[in-house]
Amino acid sequence: MTPPPRKRAARTRFVLMGSAAFGLAACQPEQTVEATVFPSVEECRAVADLPENAFTAEECAEGFAEAQAIHAESAPRYADRDVCEAEHGGECVVETRSDGSSIFLPLLAGYMIGNMLGGRGMAAQPLYRTQGGRFATPGGGTTLSGLRGRTNLAPAAFSSAPSTRTAAPLSRAAVQSRGGFGAGRTGGGTAARGFGG
Amino acid sequence: MRRDDLGARPDWQDKAGEAGFTFHHIGGELYWDESHAYAFSLEEIEAGLETPAEELHALCREAVDHVLASEEMLDRLAIPPEHRDLVATSWQAGDPELYGRMDFAFDGTGPAKLLEYNADTPTTLYETSGFQWDWLEDMIGAGRLPEGADQFNGLFEALVARFAALFARDEDLHFAAFADAPEDYATVETLAWAAREAGLGAHFTDIRKIGISETGQFTDAEDRVIGTLFKLYPWEDMLRDDFADAIAGAQCRFLEPPWKAILSNKGILPVLWRMFPGHPSLLPAVFEGEDTADLGPDIVSKPLFSREGAGVRLSVGGRDEASPDTQYDAHPRILQAYGPLPRFGEDHVVCGVWMVGETAAGLGLRADRSRITQDTSRFVPHYIDPR
């Protein structure tokens, strides 16, 4: 008797195309979320009732509270005031840890709110000034040119960044470098045919 | 286990071209070889390969625990002392494994013997999960294999399910490899398809273009923060790179997790033999310099770190054979009893059983005239014969 197929896959063929599996597929625009950006809760409230805006004054306040909570949890934290101020082009504030050490955080420059897809409600993120005079979310994953206005962002722009509250603070040496992986030292730096096996 | 000289599909090269499978020849030599195939019974697959692989993976997990409890063992495995906390923390936190491939000497009769466990950066994922499956469907469709013919190949589906279990929908994963290594790239591209089918976002970055952000997180070539990094680049090199000190604070999830540094190390073979001496699926093994009485006269010497057979030396029947690739020769070695590969015609065949999580999910075979399987060894398809 023939045993029933048990090991068998059941699917259509997939194709290696050199890039199609990654990033945005050519013909499929990713869904975006409309984000509105404010330097303060007052500015948000002031425009909440305008017909073109889909948020209420109450949501302005809720969004600001959420941004502050994320700030407390995930703000970039530095061991050195100078590094913090250089990275954020301005004032940083001190926070004292339970072990008595001092950590420096950039000030909240503003926040953004967005209506999440699939009825998941309003989401918010704090924004910090960057070295180049732009404004970024805590993980640095999304950067905006200004603190007022509306823009379309990938939903991931509202994903939470990892907590920094108890993580090791940043030092100057860790800031901005590239190319620190790939030396392949166990193989004497040669990998004629890649690193898989 | 039987070799069938079925003959290749007449249009297989066109099909490979359409599928984007560009490396069916390597250096002018045939790499994908469907001129013949290997037939297994369901019993051979299930009792002979699947069950032992899952059992060995469980033993490997015990061995990780054992190694982490001993500085002497960590020294033996050349885990850098400054990064042992990283490895231990990832194990204690239960960081999940994604995949791996166990290479066995198995001829369908005796117990399969584990040659090594590529637990960190196995490749040939596309050939195994994709093109091999297409071959089976075409052969059945053409009436050249019976309708009930099957294949040990739930690999792609298992990866989709694993990704879906480990990550929230819409989460973004980065896949890093060397962009100029087509075989490595095909493996990460296959993983990216699986991740996308699981509802996740997949992004590619060349491993050499990874940076560190102002917040100490890893970033891709476009400065996007990397929250989860699949790296087709071994932990033994990660831990010796300039960014090694940044890993612990990068708040990044890794696939494979750091504790795979212990399993993807040939030193795990003598550790397993010490812990489970006489296990039917293990070959006797010791660290170089230890008593070789258990090993018998025929011995294989392997560097702790090497892939694709590099640095392997055989001493069988008083005659020596060595891999031409000596780039790993500076490393400490382990010695393993010789577990002969079955021979069919002029080919020595090794059975690679793929693990997804803790489950065996597929099989890929490599064949070579040499007794040392290497990166140019031909990939040969298999099927499960219903008769």
**Residue A113 pLDDT > 70:** yes
Considering only CB atoms, which chain B residues are within 8 Å of A131? Answer: 214
Model pTM? 0.74
Interface of A with B in 98-137 (CB under 8 A): 131
The whole-number pLDDT of residue A161 equals 76
**Number of H helices and number of E strands within chain B?**
12, 22
Peptide bond into A52 cis (omega under 30): no
**Residue A1 pLDDT > 70:** no
Kindly state the DSSP code that residue B273 receives in the 8-state scheme. Answer: H
Burial A140-176, CB ≥16 within 10 A → b, else e:
bbbebeebeeebebbbbbbbebbebeebebbeeebbe
pLDDT, average across residues B290-307? 92
pLDDT over 90 for what percent of chain B? 81
Whether residues A197 and B307 touch (CB distance < 8 A) is answered with yes
pLDDT, average across residues B170-192? 91
| Distance in Å, alpha carbon of A140 to nearest chain B alpha carbon | 7
Q: What are phi and psi of A27, to 5 degrees?
A: -105, 10
Choose among B29, B27, B97, B89: nearest CA to B60. B97
The whole-number pLDDT of residue A12 equals 54
CA distances from B203 to B20, B47, B379 (A): 19, 38, 28
Give the model's confidence band at A193: pLDDT under 50 very low, under 70 low, under 90 confident, else very high.
Answer: low
pLDDT, average across residues B47-66? 98
**Residue B150 pLDDT > 70:** yes
**Residue A26 pLDDT > 60:** no
Burial of A195 (0-12, 13-18, 19+ CB in 10 A): buried
Range in A24-33, B18-27, B100-109, B229-238 with the lowest mean pLDDT: A24-33
- Among A9, A176, A178, the residue with its CB nearest the CB of B209 is A178
- Among B45, B156, B181, the residue with its CB nearest the CB of A193 is B181
Whether residues A196 and B126 touch (CB distance < 8 A) is answered with no
Interface of A with B in 19-38 (CB under 8 A): 19, 21-23
**Residue A2 pLDDT > 60:** no
Q: Does A196 touch chain B if contact means CB atoms closer than 8 Å?
A: yes
- Report how far residue B106's alpha carbon sits from residue B104's, in angstroms, rounded to the nearest whole number: 6
Q: What are phi and psi of B26, to 5 degrees?
A: -125, 120
- Among B152, B171, B184, the residue with its CB nearest the CB of A194 is B184
- Among B189, B224, B327, the residue with its CB nearest the CB of A21 is B189
| Distance in Å, alpha carbon of A60 to nearest chain B alpha carbon | 26
Q: Which domains are seen in chain B, by residue range?
A: 154-255 (3.40.50)
- Report how far residue A147's alpha carbon sits from residue A129's, in angstroms, rounded to the nearest whole number: 10
**Residue B356 pLDDT > 60:** yes
Contact by Cβ (8 Å): A130, A89: yes
Q: What are phi and psi of B117, to 5 degrees?
A: -120, 110
Tokens of B358: 């803790």
Count of CA atoms in the C-beta half-sphere (13 A) of B365:
31
Considering only CB atoms, which chain B residues are within 8 Å of A138? Answer: 215
The whole-number pLDDT of residue A22 equals 73
Highest mean pLDDT among A39-48, B299-308, B355-364 belongs to B355-364
pLDDT in tens, A79-99: 889 889 988 888 899 998 888
Give the model's confidence band at B320: pLDDT under 50 very low, under 70 low, under 90 confident, else very high.
Answer: confident
| Distance in Å, alpha carbon of A152 to nearest chain B alpha carbon | 17
